[in-house]
Each structure stands twice: as structure tokens, then as C-alpha cells.
Amino acid sequence: MISVREIDHLVLRVSDVTTMLAFYRDVLDCPVERRQDDIGLIQLRAGHSLIDLVPVDGALGRAGGAAPGREGRNLDHFCLRVEPFDESAIRAHLAAHCIDAGALASRYGAEGQGPSLYLTDPEGNVVELKGPAETLPGAASPSPASGDIGARAGAPNPRENP
């Protein structure tokens, strides 16, 4: 069984990053927590969760195909925070439902850097299952400016099989 605690983050593919940033930051009061402009990623804090803005013309955004609209998606993936995060138990549960997950990787989410797996739902939407932030004895809390969002290496890619 997988026990979902909450949505960790969602990723919106955007055509006009300036307007979208102003809306989420200024209208909805979601402050910018972290930016990785080299790959095209802006992460805004929304309570305990994050809203990620990914410009469609950036490195990450181009991977999603056409711009949001009739022929393109604006949601790259959504992430569910699961507890406990027991990789073996999660994989066994998914396998019992004939679902394959990608490679385990450490990725940044609403709580910080931690383990995650990517899979796809029956209609090709990418779902990330995220565990708790990694903490090492005596280590400082994860810095919002550090870490790598990680690639979905090994995860089924709905864009390859329309």
C-alpha cells in the first residue's frame, strides 16, 4: 500500500514566465524560493508545497513538446509525498498493478532533497512519488539554492508513446 500524505509540488509549463511569475508571486503571494535559470526552473512556495514554473522555451520546458494550449500540455508532472517511503514496498505494490517505476533518484521537493520515483498513469501523466528530505547526522538542512532536480532517468516517458 502507498499512503499519500499530500501534494509535494506541481510543475507548470508556461509560455509567458513573466506574467505567470507575477500572478503566483504577486496575486497569490507565493514567494520565489529557488531559481535554476540555467535549466529554466522557478520554484515558488505555496504553503507546505511548491509550484514550479518551467518556461516552454527553456531546457526543461522544451522536453514537454508544444506550448500549453490545444495541442500541448502545461502540466509536466505532479508529485505525491508518500509516507513511509519504502522503495521495495512501493515497487512491489506497483508491480502488483503492472506498473513500472523509473530509477530511484534524490530530487528537490517542498521539504528539501530526498528520494523519489517517477511513473506514468494510464493516460500518460507523469507522477512522482516523493519521500522525506534526506538528513544526515550533524548536517545542515538542505539549502533551497543547492541540489539538483534530477532527471527522470529510467521513467516511462509518455511523450515517446503518444
Contact between 39 and 63 under an 8 Å Cβ cutoff? The reply is no
The total of other beta-carbon atoms located within 10 Å of residue 85's CB is 19
Please state whether the predicted TM-score (pTM) of the whole model is above 0.85.
Answer: no
Say what the pLDDT of residue 155 is: 42
List CB contacts of 44: < 8 A, sequence separation 6 or more. 21, 24, 25, 30, 31, 32, 33, 50, 51, 52, 53
Contact between 16 and 35 under an 8 Å Cβ cutoff? The reply is no
Say what the pLDDT of residue 135 is: 67
Say what the pLDDT of residue 61 is: 87
Ordered per-residue pLDDT tens for the chain, 162 residues? 889 999 999 998 888 899 999 989 998 889 999 999 999 999 999 989 999 999 989 988 888 877 777 677 778 898 989 999 999 999 999 999 999 999 999 999 999 999 999 998 876 778 999 999 986 544 444 343 333 334 443 344 433 332
Read off the C-alpha cell for 45.
Answer: 512556495
Say what the pLDDT of residue 162 is: 29
